[in-house]
Chain A
């Protein structure tokens, strides 16, 4: 049974470049979450979708960040232009339904912006 799949696992890019992170949620799950984890701030929710619709993007730090979910099996988080302070591990998580609060996390993408 495949879990949440994220790609790439590691990304190193230069300041100013566009970065796109990808996520495939668990099949049948209809909620998807993007988180960012740093030592300083811990695990922060950036945005979440229910049935492919963005519900709450209040955690998205700036207009440089955008997220899409074109269908139930794919989501992207884009940073344009990237900055060194965006360096972090980005996690995608999915959840079955709205009654269950249990989220299943992917392995994360470690982003380094130089």
Chain B
């Protein structure tokens, strides 16, 4: 069974601060995705990282995939109240019975205060 540990579970910060969310596993994933979920809605895909060491930027959000494809991080610069939500990482199985399946982390609830 592949597990993804996400930290921290809760993050409460002031507008303008920077933050980093971590996603770690002992398993190798073929790709890793980050989703954002708002109350009453389903998760929405933010980014997919595929190559070990890959870095992707989406405006103020920076995503990194570990060299060994076992971990990932999400860094937000100058957080804004609109960034508030639940952030989920999800690893795609590398093969065998895990192929095609996503394993989700427990999520990080981010609250950005104005």
Query: A residues engaging B (CB < 8 A)?
Result: 4, 31, 33, 42-45, 48, 50, 55-56, 91, 93, 98, 101-108
Cβ of B43 and Cβ of A43 under 8 Å apart?
yes
Return the chain B residue nearest A92 by Cβ.
B42
* Distance of A31 Cα from B101 Cα, bound (Å): 11
* Distance of A98 Cα from B102 Cα, bound (Å): 12
Number of residue pairs spanning A and B whose beta carbons lie under 8 angstroms apart: 50
Cβ of A107 and Cβ of B40 under 8 Å apart?
yes
16 extra interchain contacts, Cβ-Cβ under 8 A, other than A4-B42, A33-B102? A31-B100, A42-B105, A43-B43, A43-B88, A45-B102, A55-B100, A91-B42, A101-B30, A102-B33, A102-B48, A105-B35, A105-B42, A105-B44, A107-B40, A107-B42, A108-B42
Interface: B104 (CB within 8 A): yes
Cβ of A45 and Cβ of B101 under 8 Å apart?
yes
17 contacts between A and B (CB under 8 A): A31-B100, A42-B105, A42-B106, A43-B43, A43-B107, A44-B104, A45-B103, A55-B100, A56-B100, A56-B101, A101-B33, A101-B48, A101-B92, A102-B45, A105-B42, A105-B43, A106-B42
